[in-house]
Amino acid sequence: MPGDKEIKVIRVSRNPEPSLKADEKENEAAREKGRSFLYGILCEMMDRPEDIAVTYTVGDRTTIYKVDCHPKSLGQLIGAKGKNISGIRAVISAMMARKGIRAIVEIPYIEPSEA
């Protein structure tokens, strides 16, 4: 018929998998960058940098950074009234939040020896 217009329908299928894998790679790179940043801070502030190890585990929405150090260096890590570890936790949390990742910094629990 005259005056009828033909409408073309174009279907665009988006495959979410490639972008999801790219996001996972970016998140993994961000987690590793956070780990190395945390390790660098700890090496500069503690007396025994050779005894420091930082590892992380990944949950659904949270990354847990676990710090292992010599028991005698634990006081330096915590700081007076917990100011050192609080500051470190705040910086790492803010750094990872920019990437949409929740971060927790755990420190070792060492039972006091009986004197």
Q: What is the DSSP string of 53-89?
A: EEEEEE-SSEEEEEEE--GGGHHHHH-GGGHHHHHHH
* Confidence band, pLDDT 50/70/90 cuts, at residue 18: low
The total of structural domains in the chain comes to 1
CATH number at residue 70: 3.30.300.20
The answer to the question of residue 53 being in a domain is yes
- Provide CB contacts within 8 A for 12, sequence distance 6+: none
pLDDT interval class at 102 (50, 70, 90):
very high
Q: Indicate whether 20 pLDDT > 70.
A: no
Asked whether residue 58 is assigned to any structural domain, the reply reads: yes
d(CA 111, CA 11): 63
Task: State the residue range of the domain holding 97.
Answer: 49-109
36 lies in a domain? Answer: no
* pLDDT tens, residue by residue, 27-39: 899 999 999 999 9
For residue range 42-98, what is the model confidence (pLDDT) as tens digits? Answer: 999 988 889 999 999 998 789 999 999 988 889 999 999 999 999 999 999 999 999
31 within some domain: no
